[in-house]
Structure 1
Amino acid sequence: MTAPPRAAARFPFSAVVGHDDLRLALLLNAIHPRIGGVLVRGEKGTAKSTAVRALAGLLPALDVVEGCRFGCAPDALDDRCPDGPHDAVVAQRRPAGLVELPVGATEDRLIGSLDLERALTEGVRAFQPGLLAAAHRGVLYVDEVNLLHDHLVDLLLDAAAMGRAHVERDGVSVSHAASFLLVGTMNPEEGELRPQLLDRFGLTVHVAAAREVATRTEVVRRRLAFEDDPEGFAGQWAEADAELARRIVEARARLDAVVLPDSELRRISALCAALEVDGMRADLVLARTAVAHAAWRGADAVAEQDVETAARLALPHRRRRDPFDEPGMAEDQLQQALSEAAEHAGDGDDDPPPDGPGGGAPEDGGPDDGGPDDGGPDDGGPDDGGPGAGAPGSGDEGEGGRSGGADGDEGSGGADRQPAAPEPAFRARLLEVPGLGEGAPGRRSRSRSRTGRGVRASAVEGNGVHLTATLAAAAPHQRARGRSGPGLLLHREDVRRAVREGREGNLVLFAVDASGSMAARERMSAVSGAVLSLLRDAYQRRDKVGVVAFRGDGAEVALPPTSSVDVAATRMRALRTGGRTPLADGLLTARSVLRTERTRDPQRRPLLVLLTDGKATVAVDAAAGSARERARRAVDDAVRAAGLLARMEVASVVVDCESGPVRLGLAERVATALDAPRLRLEELSAENVAGVVRAARPDRQRAA
């Protein structure tokens, strides 16, 4: 008989060089899974995945009920286990599992679904477990968690917080235990997680490659040694890993006996209050982490050092309120907060009794644990000061009768200017690409989808089996096919697929006029505020974004298309203004970017947002002539460039930034050439004007 293949050796956890915070965060979660998991942020190539996979080798082996697909423990049977009741319990030992969730996973694969094979052949409703069941009592690892669909991240974090997975779909109602150590890794360059999702990870660690030569040398030396002889290298570190595994087991056994004194509990509450952390989840996570750290030290009670260590891991990412805030916390901020909290650690005599019957801290795992994310995908933008706060269009008074002739920005805006301070952000009106796309999942435009709402059944297109329509197609033929007994006789032509419709994320390319005509009339402040508001909207709708800025003698790609919307916001805040208006060059540069992205990512539909007053003053061919003649050629060139974009069938919106009592209407000419709707700057606010702007004219929308 052939021996089963041996499992590939894992890189030893003890051999990971540096990354002390990462290793500690993983160990604390292994001791106390109710902490809520670890989010590992860092640049590519920093051993994030290596450390996570190595951790699974330290976890103690599990006793499970033989044949139970949900990993029930023989000494603590789950009375709600879908494979139960377990009458004759036979224990089986297996290693703690490491389950990896790929970025392209579907909801069915994550939480489970109807067992179609049994439903179609036996006519019974049976549940097929997903990855949450496989990860029970082990590690669930999500690489590039920031690229995972948001609704899947919500499901993951719900299960991690409650220790159970609930499935209500396809006529199946199932609840099963799903207690696991959740670890997510991400590269911030590829986009951030929403603050609501960041908050629901227990601990967050930022890792970066070492800059010391000695450390980098040792990393390479160990990695090469591992690749040359994986088993031999693992054997060299086996004793160190065994010691860590022993300490994890001892800390788990000690956990329930560790005391959290009232003084340290007050310190935790005072620390969270001093740092102005939203909600109560931070307090709970901080308390659990401090208890786990005390157990790891072998102490009987939580001390100040445990709270300080826990704060470094549990609080920095919870100070991020705005989507464009950088996660993190300066050392002096933490020390100041710890100093303030120390004053509360010793005086609890005057504290009022807790409210409600049976006051005191709720039991671990109760409803105060933090429920599902209340900030759903359709909640709109964050609170920016109430309806209409900071809406664009203010500040037009006092611009008087300056109509701004064709040469206006050459005289008034020739000098390079510092970036204008943006006006306050506002909730942006939805700009939508018409038609039906097939792009990346998101929340902007309509698209065919694997996970959206079912709109119809089809025999030739769609994703997944439409069970009801398949059964209905097969039912009339059962007598002719000679069916006898249970189950259905199915033929290939009976199968119907589900056609679903959802939302997609788009490529939103901003072409921003940063010339002197915009700056001279103090419009860049309003324009910057509008772009930041649209970027916030793009962040929430999971778009890629890019920025093209044009001023002076030409245009530049201020930000190539990226999923990191917060980088785009940083670039916009630093955008310098002044000089002439090379509108045609700006449009041609945008066209070049869109052509490149169409080749690179053909399924992601683009949306061009042009913000300009239309006063072009730089022609493509800088031939001699009068100022008036040069201005006329510049406008004509801009109209021709817009026509080239229109022939690419790029969905566009022109935001007219012209102001003052006398208006030349040049932006309207560009919008007509682009076959795009024209909006006034103030019409971008959802509070000012309700509705959706589809980036095409009505005749084009009907064609789509």
Structure 2
Amino acid sequence: MTAPVFPFTALVGSDELITALLLSAISPEIGGVLVRGEKGTAKSTAVRALAAVLPEQQVALSCRFGCDPERADDCPDGPHTGPATTRPARLVELPVGATEDRVVGSLDLRRALGEGEAAYQPGLLADAHRGILYVDEVNLLHDHLVDVLLDAAAMGRNTVERDGVSISHPARITLVGTMNPEEGELRPQLLDRFGLTVHVAASRDPHVRAEVVRRRLAADLDPAGFAAGYAASEAQLTERLAAARESVARIRLEDVTLRTIARVCAGFDVDGMRADIVTARTAAAHAAWAGREHVTREDIRAAALLSLPHRRRRAPFDAPGLDEDLLDRLLDEEPEPEPPVPPTGGDDSDGDVDGASPDESGPGDGAQEEGRSGDSRPAPPDGSADDRGESPTTAPDDPSRGAEPERAEVPDTSPSGASAPAATAIASTPYRARRLELSGVGSGPTGRRSPALTPRGRVVGVHPAGNEPAGAPVHLTATLRASAARRAARTGPARVTGDDLRHAVTRGREANLVLLAVDASGSMAARKRMGEVKTAVLSLLLDAYQRRDRVGLVTFRGSGAEVALPPTSSVDAAAARLAELPHGGRTPLAEGLTQVARVVARERIRDRNQRALVIIVTDGRATAGPDALARAQHIADAWGHTADTVVVDCESGRFRMGLAADLAHRMGAEHIALEQVAASGLVEIVTDRTGPRRSAA
């Protein structure tokens, strides 16, 4: 017997999350909820608790998809005339490593190989019909799977056309995804497909935090007793949800309400019409939850706070969020007057028939005022305190900021090698980078950059029997050919067996690791030069985001080196770290190269199949510590073929020592003069690099 889940009505300090989940459960057509937040904020606990309070369902026993026997759904197993039963609403969890076949369904291999029948085997979308499909760490899921899930959530159907199977079945799901932004972001196009988004952060109120700990400890000590204490409130919430589901279809959306929603969405300059539609549906669900029969200003405000913030994030470096003062101003604006209606001779003048002002609440208004004035989001069942996040801050690379005055370069005169006072250069607007494509064929994680053997792609061969990797798709033609050859040799049974299975070798593209090692010492500290380097690094981050690469940043200045940005896919964290990067002081080249070697070695242990490209931006000087140049040269001699490397020479002046060129020679790396890569040229050199010495290992 499984332990009871944590009660939904026992959740504390997550009001926005509770509201979004309830509204999505009332109206699944909203399109699901994306829950963003730091670790340890009960995201998964809330989703699992929601399934326990959803009303029970009538299900046709003969239906593989769990359809309602009283509804005339276009179901492949219909019409549903047989016996029915009652079951709880389902919660289906999608693992990060799930394949597309497991999600959408596929050919039933047992029946296809044993009986020769092309039968359909339902997937997770069929299992989750009329329930919740929960995807933890949705930002780590492959993009094509996220597209499939969001399409099904938006259309309410799943259509499969593959492997000789052609079927379309209902898949009305409440899609809930959770993610930690520190581990990477979703593309803006995918963000827009989620109906609602909530950012969850742990409360800073000691009383709220203490209550969270108290309830969690009590639930762990006696799960059954703790759940029994909330049984009455859970049952009450279930009844309220069922009533809201029945009444949401009767909610009236007046013309003035639709114009207000359109004005709000246009005022925030969101793309497309999905925001307007989702906001209208959410406002109707909010009104139904509050027990009203029409949508009010408070319903629209609550809906906009959940449906618009993530849709304003158009570029990877844009910060999500919503200006609530602007929202209030847009809601308070007077609607535009109706165009005059020509007289028709009757007495039906088209006056204001909308009745009460959108600011007025009807007598059935059961919403509870909380927080800011005018905010009437439904209070959670336990009445816990609201814990909203802070207003978003300006992105660190905002090009609208004025340029700062030029600072004098700080000379590197410290006899001890300690860091001189540091300055901070500002990157300009990133530019588009041409794709870096390593030569050879790798076997790294699926991405969009270099050729590789991947679980998904173009079929280029067949794996030897018994040596296929996990997740390799079945090659149907090769399987039938092997079975025919075996039968011709009169060995084994006359039908296809498991020994005849053959799996396809597929070729696609992989993601790579781009590790940048930036010399931030005083000799590199010319403001314009560092600005150009930062702009190039920012552009590489943008390109890596689009190509699904991972990017790391190592800096060295003063007397040491540090990993300013561990290898990551989070462009937001990368942009913020890059904006704070200071420069000035001596040049600890040996320490910088040592740190780069450590990062590469550590990443190779983490994922041996991921190929790396190291880009070292320096003038080649080594001025920190005893025998600095000799130590740097020794490390370069020992570098070998640890990784493909490019050295960007930043030495300037009429008389040059050629230290960066010597460094490149010792490392077996390409050497590029800064004059060739100034400003927008750095990324072009990096992404044009297709030399024959790139390793495919």
Question: So what's the TM-score if we normalise by structure 1?
Answer: 0.82
In structure 1, what residue type is equivalent to 2:273? M
1:468 Cα offset (Å): 1.2
Is 1:18 aligned with 2:18? no
Are residues 700 and 444 of structure 1, via their aligned partners in 2, closer, same or farther at CA, if it must alter by over 3 Å? closer
Helix, strand or coil: the match of 1:118?
helix
State the match for 1:235 in structure 2.
Answer: 228
Contact 1:547–1:559 at 8 Å: present in 2 too?
yes
State the match for 2:108 in structure 1.
Answer: 115
State the match for 1:455 in structure 2.
Answer: 460
Query: Which residue of 661, 666, 689 corresponds with 1:693?
Result: 689
State the match for 2:531 in structure 1.
Answer: 525
Are residues 122 and 643 of structure 1, via their aligned partners in 2, closer, same or farther at CA, if it must alter by over 3 Å? farther
Are residues 427 and 434 of structure 1, via their aligned partners in 2, closer, same or farther at CA, if it must alter by over 3 Å? same
Contact 2:516–2:553 at 8 Å: present in 1 too?
yes
State the match for 1:285 in structure 2.
Answer: 278
Contact 1:274–1:341 at 8 Å: present in 2 too?
no
Query: Which residue of 617, 621, 636 corresponds with 1:616?
Result: 621
Query: Which residue of 21, 26, 34 corresponds with 1:31?
Result: 26
1:37-74 Cα shifts (integer Å, max 9, x gaps): 11111111111111100100111112222132112221
Contact 1:23–1:51 at 8 Å: present in 2 too?
yes
Query: Which residue of 677, 681, 686 corresponds with 1:681?
Result: 677
State the match for 2:191 in structure 1.
Answer: 198
In structure 2, what residue type is equivalent to 1:39? L
Contact 2:31–2:196 at 8 Å: present in 1 too?
yes
Are residues 430 and 656 of structure 1, via their aligned partners in 2, closer, same or farther at CA, if it must alter by over 3 Å? farther
1:620 Cα offset (Å): 5.5
1:449-505 Cα shifts (integer Å, max 9, x gaps): 222332111223342432210111111332553889xx724362x332211223222
1:58-73 paired onto structure 2 within 5 Å: 58-73=53-68
Helix, strand or coil: the match of 1:465?
coil
Is 1:497 aligned with 2:503? yes
Question: For the residues of structure 1 that align with 2:139 and 2:498, how far apart are their CA atoms?
Answer: 42
Question: For the residues of structure 2 that align with 1:171 and 1:683, how far apart are their CA atoms?
Answer: 54
Helix, strand or coil: the match of 2:423?
coil
In structure 1, what residue type is equivalent to 2:324? L
Question: For the residues of structure 2 that align with 1:350 and 1:663, how far apart are their CA atoms?
Answer: 75
Question: For the residues of structure 2 that align with 1:131 and 1:639, how far apart are their CA atoms?
Answer: 57
Contact 1:620–1:637 at 8 Å: present in 2 too?
no
Contact 1:271–1:338 at 8 Å: present in 2 too?
no
In structure 1, what residue type is equivalent to 2:25? A
Question: For the residues of structure 1 that align with 2:533 and 2:683, how far apart are their CA atoms?
Answer: 17
1:428 Cα offset (Å): 1.2
State the match for 1:400 in structure 2.
Answer: none
Question: For the residues of structure 2 that align with 1:169 and 1:662, how far apart are their CA atoms?
Answer: 66
1:659 Cα offset (Å): 5.7
Is 1:473 aligned with 2:482? yes
1:182-581 paired onto structure 2 within 5 Å: 182-329=175-322, 333-344=323-334, 346-350=335-339, 415-459=420-464, 460-462=467-469, 463-481=472-490, 488-490=495-497, 492=499, 494-520=500-526, 522-581=528-587
Are residues 113 and 620 of structure 1, via their aligned partners in 2, closer, same or farther at CA, if it must alter by over 3 Å? farther
Question: For the residues of structure 1 that align with 2:43 and 2:570, how far apart are their CA atoms?
Answer: 20
State the match for 2:639 in structure 1.
Answer: 645
Are residues 553 and 689 of structure 1, via their aligned partners in 2, closer, same or farther at CA, if it must alter by over 3 Å? closer
Contact 1:416–1:576 at 8 Å: present in 2 too?
no
Segments of 5+ residues of structure 2 without an aligned counterpart are: 343-396, 400-408
1:77-108 Cα shifts (integer Å, max 9, x gaps): 333x33x3436432222211100001111111
Question: For the residues of structure 1 that align with 2:125 and 2:341, how far apart are their CA atoms?
Answer: 42
State the match for 1:367 in structure 2.
Answer: none
Are residues 659 and 540 of structure 1, via their aligned partners in 2, closer, same or farther at CA, if it must alter by over 3 Å? farther
Question: For the residues of structure 1 that align with 2:687 and 2:531, how far apart are their CA atoms?
Answer: 25
Question: For the residues of structure 2 that align with 1:482 and 1:419, how far apart are their CA atoms?
Answer: 75
Contact 1:426–1:685 at 8 Å: present in 2 too?
no
Contact 1:467–1:496 at 8 Å: present in 2 too?
yes
Contact 2:107–2:118 at 8 Å: present in 1 too?
yes
State the match for 1:48 in structure 2.
Answer: 43
1:202-223 Cα shifts (integer Å, max 9, x gaps): 1111112222222222212212
Contact 1:415–1:579 at 8 Å: present in 2 too?
yes
1:563 Cα offset (Å): 3.5
Query: Which residue of 650, 661, 672 corresponds with 1:668?
Result: 661
Question: For the residues of structure 2 that align with 1:163 and 1:561, how far apart are their CA atoms?
Answer: 38
In structure 1, what residue type is equivalent to 2:332? A
1:100-111 paired onto structure 2 within 5 Å: 100-111=93-104
1:684 Cα offset (Å): 6.6
Is 1:594 aligned with 2:603? no
Contact 2:301–2:327 at 8 Å: present in 1 too?
no
- Give the number of equivalent residue pairs: 625
1:516-569 Cα shifts (integer Å, max 9, x gaps): 233226211111100000011122222332211112233222122333232121
In structure 2, what residue type is equivalent to 1:488? R
Question: What is the root-mean-square deviation in Å for CA atoms of aligned residues?
Answer: 3.0
Larger CA deviation: 50-59 vs 448-457: 448-457
In structure 2, what residue type is equivalent to 1:10? V
State the match for 2:611 in structure 1.
Answer: 605
Give the fraction of aligned pairs with identical amino acids, expressed as a percent: 55
Question: For the residues of structure 1 that align with 2:412 and 2:459, how far apart are their CA atoms?
Answer: 53
1:410 Cα offset (Å): 5.7
Question: So what's the TM-score if we normalise by structure 2?
Answer: 0.83
Contact 2:433–2:684 at 8 Å: present in 1 too?
no
Helix, strand or coil: the match of 1:509?
strand
Is 1:178 aligned with 2:195? no
Segments of 5+ residues of structure 1 without an aligned counterpart are: 1-5, 354-383, 390-403, 623-632
Contact 1:56–1:139 at 8 Å: present in 2 too?
yes
1:164 Cα offset (Å): 1.1
Are residues 213 and 73 of structure 1, via their aligned partners in 2, closer, same or farther at CA, if it must alter by over 3 Å? same
Larger CA deviation: 138-147 vs 541-550: 541-550
Question: For the residues of structure 2 that align with 1:416 and 1:109, how far apart are their CA atoms?
Answer: 57
Question: For the residues of structure 2 that align with 1:602 and 1:689, how far apart are their CA atoms?
Answer: 26
Contact 2:436–2:686 at 8 Å: present in 1 too?
no
1:585 Cα offset (Å): 2.2
In structure 1, what residue type is equivalent to 2:52? G
In structure 1, what residue type is equivalent to 2:181? P
In structure 2, what residue type is equivalent to 1:274? G
Question: For the residues of structure 2 that align with 1:127 and 1:686, how far apart are their CA atoms?
Answer: 52
In structure 1, what residue type is equivalent to 2:689? V
In structure 2, what residue type is equivalent to 1:248? L
1:691 Cα offset (Å): 6.8
Helix, strand or coil: the match of 1:560?
strand
Are residues 560 and 174 of structure 1, via their aligned partners in 2, closer, same or farther at CA, if it must alter by over 3 Å? same
Question: For the residues of structure 2 that align with 1:657 and 1:686, how far apart are their CA atoms?
Answer: 11
Contact 2:197–2:307 at 8 Å: present in 1 too?
yes
State the match for 2:52 in structure 1.
Answer: 57
Question: For the residues of structure 2 that align with 1:319 and 1:675, how far apart are their CA atoms?
Answer: 46
Question: For the residues of structure 2 that align with 1:340 and 1:461, how far apart are their CA atoms?
Answer: 59
